[in-house]
A and B are shown apart, each in its own frame.
Chain A
Amino acid sequence: MSKLLSPANNEVLFMGNEAIARGALEAGVNVAAGYPGTPSSEIIETLATVVKERNLYVEWSTNEKVSLEVAAAASFAGLRSLCVMKQNGVNVASDFLLHLTASGTRGGMVLVTCEDPGALSSVNEGESRYFARMLEIPLLEPANFQEAKDLTKWAFELSEKIRNVVILRSVTRMSHASGNVICGKLPTKSRKALFEYKGSIMDQLRGPVISTPVVIKHALQQEKLKKAVALFENSPFNTYSGPAKPELLLITSSACFLYSQEAISMLNLQKRVGILKLGCTWPPPPQLLKKHLKSTGKVLIVEEILPFLEENVKALAAGMAEDIGIKKYYGKMDGTLPAVGELNPDLVAEGLGKILKVKYKSQPPGYVKEMEKIIPMIPKREQTFCPGCPHRASFWNMHNALQLDGREGFVCGDIGCYALAALYPSCGFDTVRTLHSMGSGTGIASGFAKLGQFGFEKPVIAVCGDSTFYHAAIPALINAQHNRADITFIVLDNSGTAMTGFQPHPGLTVGAAGESVPAIDIAGICEAIGAKVAISDPFDLEKTCGLLTDFLAEEGCVKVLILRQKCALSPEKKGKKQFLMKVDEERCRGEECGCNRLCTRIFRCPALVWDRIKKKAVIDDVICAGCGVCYSICPQKAIIRTEAKQK
């Protein structure tokens, strides 16, 4: 039986994302939709494993906006629905979200956004708490694993009470951390879908679901928010611990609560500092804050990314200054805490130490001294393409074709592991020169290609992954073709949403829960758009580079090259070697060779290492994935490949 379905009162080790999924199940969620993105993906993934047992409909949608629409339909039909994405996904969904918050919802609907302070697995340090404020809907933030479950469950109830969507925000250190959780009851009844639309336009439960008359519905929306604040005032998810009149009041939410607790105990400040932990962060409950602000003269706000909570507390405090008096505020704005990056117990302790003049050293001085001698011998470990990664071969081909073309062309990158091709020293053939959001590489390339009249002559390649193709690249590709933007568009098709853990996408024949679904053919779409399309295996270096070189030279239309090769970590490939690789020591001329260590200096596969004693290349058999590509790059043909026997 799935851990997710553990009986009530059982204590289970849940990852934050699993706790959120369990909370949704306890709330009786019916429909869950999302788009993969670290650190959010496991919520949909784990729900997908219990669709039969819990009669759920779970899907990986084409993009975040569509997933929100799919979840909204369930709510309109009176069901409970969950929609999940990472921080930047909320930007994608935000157009619909604006209108959804205006029309309101019916069945409980929760939008979970998992954010990534410090950009551990993102190319942005985005923040979506401001959407709650801007779009006037409630925001909840769990501060531990138990709360991740309980607050999710309550979020559905809140949504149904106010008939609007509720945002639940997690962060990487909550979503991907694990801790003990006591399970609650799973409901025994499932709801029936019923969409009523014959009532009046003002009838939230029986009329058409639209945002007009806008001004009247806007006022209604604000009423709903007031209802939420009233509930927040007495919510058990807002807690205080510490002395009645603390020297310093620490206000915090989310994983920062755990850091703050730890920091206070590291500095032994339990008697001087009180923690007001808010689970309900927008709108902040004024009476609760008034009570605690009154009790102290100094306030530290601990939060990650932007000073959202700090701004809100200060704004409230300004309004109640007459009652609470003048306070001294500490936080991100005055530099007590770092303005960017993620926090941890030490950074909070450092902030506390500064305010309360407490000294703290994490390591004894003698130890630090010893360590100073050791640090220089630790080589940095940069990220790189995995052994056997198709992207290494694909970008090798792109680099070579661009070099041969000779016009100093470049690649507009996109979101996926292939972003590594923008980073030195992940490979010695970096070609990616722009990198933004999903699908943007194609739009940017389309723009560059229209700069000819201003003297721009470089050829432009846009890349995107197979999942990204469906998510956001298609409109940009249509734009390029329609506006005669002469780009070469490469789909790095590795058969799944690989970076986030092989979630299926519209190009595959399986859905989120393993059900059979029709695949949408990338080549067919591109051909229908009018592009010239070719398909190649990136491991076939000669063919791929040749095709690409021809495409770059060809003017007058959009060229699409689909590079098809499964991710080396995919379940189908992992642990299975196609080839057994070996370096022939006789043939490898080592440092004497004119290759100037092409294999290790430029190609940089983690499995192809330089033996400093023999001064020759060697294959580390433990690391080698057996893709066989290095066989094609050695000018001496010293890298030997033999077909491996399949087990």
Chain B
Amino acid sequence: MKKTLSKDPTNVIITGVGGQGNVLASRVLAGMLVNAGYYVTIGETFGMSQRGGSVMSHLRISEKSVMSPQIPWGRADIVVALEPVEALRVLTKYGNPDVAVLANSRVVYPVGVITGELDYPSIEEMQNALKRISAKSWSIDATGEAVKLGNPVLSNVIMVGALCATNLLPIDHKSFEEEIAKKMTPDKRRINLLAFDAGAKMI
């Protein structure tokens, strides 16, 4: 595991569609980093904004202080997307040539696509686009892996596991284990650890 931040602050955006477990992912990740001694600021919205819409959590990790809960445009360092088109959407505003992107390849169609009014890009188109607008990108089928583990809801934890394995942040399996020991009941820990490790293996 890396011991320090490569940039202060390091700005992480976790994005997805309402109901995918964005908030849990950001909380777990933030908890792991707070345990490691960092200042973490999370910015997010919930409530009605979740219903089928795009959701975003901003995480800012610093050794010095808390920050604005909204990351300035063009300043994301890492984007974790639970849904692929949401990765692109976030990058339009917050992307820059140095950004690293980890995206779940499983799509959730917007209502406009379901009705047939809008088109949804193909996986290849999205992956090509990602390559052009990021320094590094990974695309994994976290949902498929979660279904194998018995519950699609675990895709968020799989993504956290994968993020750890990218070595972009000073966190590892142990920090996850510590954090969920605080947050989850023992019966839930086992499956979440499995999900975390499954995600780590996908990188």
Contacts and interface: CB of A to CB of B under 8 A. Distances in A.
A472 B30 CA distance: 39
A349 B109 contact: no
A120 B118 CA distance: 24
A371 B97 CA distance: 11
B43 A177 contact: yes
B28 to A, nearest CB: 11
Given A367-B133, A374-B132, A604 B115 contact: yes
Interface stretch (A278-286, A381-389, A511-519): A381-389
Interface residues of A, number: 72
A640 to B, nearest CB: 20
A616 interface: no
A610 interface: yes
Contact of B116 (A145, A377, A601, A622): A601
B58 to A, nearest CB: 8
Contact of A417 (B43, B48, B54): B48
Interface in A240-293: 255, 258-259, 261-263, 266
Given A120-B45, A177-B42, A379 B112 contact: yes
Contacts of A361: 74
Contact of A600 (B42, B89, B114, B151): B114
B113 interface: yes
Contacts of A173: 43, 69-70
B5 to A, nearest CB: 15
Interface in A327-385: 344-346, 349, 361-364, 366-367, 370-371, 374-375, 377-385
Given A426-B52, A426-B111, A177 B46 contact: no
Residue with the highest number of chain B CB atoms closer than 10 Å, among A261, A381, A386: A381
A38 B68 contact: no
Nearest to B70: A344
A38 B47 contact: yes
A374 to B, nearest CB: 5
B80 to A, nearest CB: 17
B133 A374 contact: yes
Given A180-B34, A367-B95, A623-B108, A38 B72 contact: no
A349 B147 CA distance: 45
B17 interface: yes
A50 interface: no
Contacts of A258: 66-69
B143 interface: yes
A374 B91 CA distance: 10
Contacts of A474: none
A575 B113 contact: no
Contacts of B30: 13, 178
Contacts of B95: 363, 367, 371
A345 B68 contact: yes
Contacts of B85: 378-379, 381
B106 interface: yes
Interface stretch (B119-127, B158-166, B168-176, B191-199): B119-127
Contacts of A595: none
A364 B75 CA distance: 11
A174 B44 CA distance: 10
B126 to A, nearest CB: 8
A623 B16 CA distance: 14
Contacts, number: 204
B3 to A, nearest CB: 20
B153 interface: yes
Contacts of B72: 262-263, 266, 344-346, 349, 362
A86 to B, nearest CB: 10
A391 to B, nearest CB: 10
Interface in B62-87: 66-75, 85-86
B52 A382 contact: yes
B138 interface: no
Contacts of A363: 73-74, 95-96
Contacts of A262: 67-68, 72
Contacts of B185: none
B75 A179 contact: no
Contacts of B75: 362
A467 interface: no
A537 B81 CA distance: 37
B117 interface: yes
Contacts of B71: 345
A164 interface: no
A442 interface: no
Contact of A384 (B51, B54, B91): B51
A145 B52 CA distance: 29
A153 interface: no
Contacts of B54: 381
A600 B116 contact: yes
A386 B86 CA distance: 18
B48 A121 contact: yes
A176 B44 contact: yes
Interface in A71-102: none
Interface in A540-577: 569, 575
B181 interface: no
A344 B71 CA distance: 8
Interface in A121-150: 121-122, 144-146
Interface in A616-642: 620, 622-623
A597 B109 CA distance: 16
Contacts of A447: none
A386 B51 contact: yes
Contact of B70 (A345, A370, A610): A345
B66 A606 contact: no
A550 to B, nearest CB: 31
Contacts of A15: 42
A500 interface: yes
A385 B51 contact: yes
Contacts of A345: 68, 70-72
A446 to B, nearest CB: 26
A608 B52 CA distance: 13
A609 interface: yes
Nearest to B182: A3
A443 to B, nearest CB: 22
A622 B34 contact: no
Among A174, A262, A364, A600, which residue has the most Cβ atoms of chain B within 10 A?
A262
Contact of B66 (A120, A145, A600): A145
A67 interface: no
Contact of A371 (B42, B53, B111, B133): B133
Nearest 7 CB-CB pairings of A with B? A38-B47, A121-B47, A177-B69, A362-B74, A362-B73, A384-B52, A179-B66
30 contacts: A13-B30, A13-B42, A176-B44, A178-B30, A180-B66, A255-B68, A259-B68, A345-B71, A346-B73, A349-B72, A363-B74, A367-B95, A367-B133, A371-B92, A377-B126, A378-B121, A379-B113, A379-B119, A379-B120, A381-B110, A382-B110, A382-B111, A386-B18, A575-B153, A604-B115, A606-B52, A606-B114, A610-B116, A620-B108, A622-B147
Given A381-B89, A609-B109, 9 more contacts: A13-B30, A38-B46, A120-B45, A144-B66, A178-B40, A259-B68, A379-B119, A386-B18, A597-B116
Interface of B: 17-19, 27, 30-31, 34, 39-49, 51-54, 66-75, 85-86, 88-89, 91-92, 95-97, 106, 108-121, 125-126, 129, 132-133, 143, 147, 151-153
